Amino acid sequence: MVAILILTDVKFGDAFAHSGVTGIVKERIDYFKASQGNLKKIRAHISKENYDLIIPPANSIASWSARMSDYFPARSDTKPSEASPKIWADFEGFTATAQLNWNATLSLAKAAETGDWASVINAFRDTAEGYKSCHKTYRLK
């Protein structure tokens, strides 16, 4: 349970409160919002040990992670986007980070299939830390 409490420090909501956003920037914000909601669902399912219910939201996050870089075309960093220019300066690194998130969330889904609490916690921690690291590196502050 301590691991779950530690992981509640990951914050996404404030970064996505944009009005008037359209196009590809709106689409990626919507996907990030959905991922945020899925992380909250996963955390709730972990606390109740509902491992089967973790699999769909984990797979949803993995699906987004697999195509995330497609939603960051050149010149899509204008306001109100909070995407850092570092994304395009190091697009390979950004794509690799999305791939790590994909791997972590797939591992989370697989851990949930086994029903092993420690594996689920470790995989969730990896997923949450991946998000936090990506936001720290590739999002404007």
* Domain harbouring 41, CATH code: 1.20.120.10
* 4: nearest Cα among 39, 55, 52: 39
Residue 11 belongs to a domain:
no
Confidence of residue 1 (pLDDT cuts 50, 70, 90): very low
In sequence order, the 6+-apart residues with CB closer than 8 A to the CB of 138 are: 83, 84, 86, 87, 94, 97
Give the model's pLDDT for residue 39: 95
Residue 17 CB-density burial (10 A; 0-12 exposed, 13-18 middle, 19+ buried): exposed
Q: According to DSSP H, which parts of 8-116 are helical?
A: 23-47, 55-67, 86-89, 91-114
Which pLDDT tens digit goes with each residue over 18-63? 567 889 999 999 999 999 999 999 999 999 999 999 999 999 999 9
Domain membership of residue 128 as a residue range:
26-138
Instruction: Indicate the pTM of the whole model.
Output: 0.82
Q: How many domains does the chain have?
A: 1
Q: Is 110 helix (H, G, I), strand (E, B) or coil?
A: helix
Mean pLDDT of 68-82: 89
Confidence of residue 97 (pLDDT cuts 50, 70, 90): very high
Residue 37 belongs to a domain:
yes
Give the model's pLDDT for residue 42: 97
11 has a pLDDT exceeding 70: no
The amino acid present at 49, given as its one-letter code, is E
49-85 burial, b at 16+ Cβ within 10 Å, e below that, comes to eebebbbebbbbbbebbeebbebbeeeebeeebbbbe
Residue 138: CB atoms within 10 Å? 21
Residue 61 belongs to a domain:
yes
Residue 16 belongs to a domain:
no
Give the model's pLDDT for residue 19: 66
Residue 108 belongs to a domain:
yes
Residue 57 belongs to a domain:
yes
Q: What integer best gives the mean pLDDT of the chain?
A: 87
Residue 73 belongs to a domain:
yes
Residue 52 belongs to a domain:
yes
